[in-house]
Structure 1
């Protein structure tokens, strides 16, 4: 159990001696669990404030005369909010220790401590009510602290998302600017199929890759771009020139020129037979021919 810090304000040094004498023989620590930390002799309010600040119990011990009562009332009103509890104690008139009844002072001191304790008991229900309110507020505080933690995490997550959205927005703005520039130059974009058919309506459209290679071979990179079924060029004439070159290349590849065949040697012809009757090898002789020959003989 904590020790109660009690401080006593008196009017002068002689009162310090009287109170100190009265405290002798009192077992305040064992009986009341208190300690008298200081006895302050002063009538100055500012000094009293400095000396009494933070005390659990402040006893204002002044004479029972009018001056003492006025001083006690002034100190009570000035120091009431600076300490836990303020209690008034009346000292018997006279400042000569030999003529003061110390036992009477001791008894008054004990009565003052009892009164302070009883007054504390009177405020106990209020204290308990305040304690319950404090516990309720602590529970609400803990709940709000947890809610704050969750909101903080959500806030940080939203902040991160916001930054990502800002970056995405910046990227989209740049992309939008590029699209605007592309739209402004849309007149220089031509569909490959339409451009080819306008020149060679009866011919199949060549592969886009082949046209791209032609752009590289002809040194048109940078001036002509081919992709996604479109040709981007400075003007239509350059597109037509490119497609005519492609057409010519394809024609050469598909219809190569005829290569003349080397002459072949003709077999030697047999000599002509001499005029007049002659002998014919392997001639077929018919019976009628033999009969005619015989008649001629």
Structure 2
């Protein structure tokens, strides 16, 4: 009787549990059924805080927006395909967007005439986006000739060819080991001696700025032939991408060609030495 009693008790315990599991699965809500429209709002601005009007804010999947190039994002902004929600910022850079439930909202990005923002993970509510202009500006600097132990001037010039004001511009230079910084000057920027960095305030489109570093070239700058040094420069801006570079070609002070110093090539030198030796022998006789 004991085995039968044990079986009866187990059946009473298991049967209610199995019966309870079935209704739970049956009543579980479909994930798609609980999705609903969401809203997103915020502002779009440049790094210096200036509002970006008429920018397009896009919301879509990471596969579509997160890995897209700038040109692809511009195409999507111009004509939104299925699966992407979009809106345009007002004169103050503000926007508000209702994202339909059927949109796979994973990534948010802003696109303007001046550039695009970094893709961000979608979170309903408020999201402020920052656009970095894609117009790259360059500090131009010529290759400067130098000799070991000499002093040289390294000039830099930047012309603002973009259409948005340039803010927070800076430029600094690092000299190779054995070289030394001497001085710096600029008619347009401010030089900070503590970190040897030039800075500029707002630069309007079409304006040009300049800076000059004077440095001492190390005595050990070359071994047995001329050498070109790529000096390390650092350039940055709050609103634009900035590039900079500097090259110095170092040679021996005595490095000359026959064309540069006629009459002092190797044959002429040998003749001169022979003449001096002959004169010395004549005096001894």
Structure with the higher helix share, 1 or 2: 1
Structure with the higher strand share, 1 or 2: 2
Question: TM-score when scaled to structure 2?
Answer: 0.22
Question: TM-score when scaled to structure 1?
Answer: 0.21
Of structures 1 and 2, the one with the larger relative CO (CA 8 A, separation 6+) is: 2
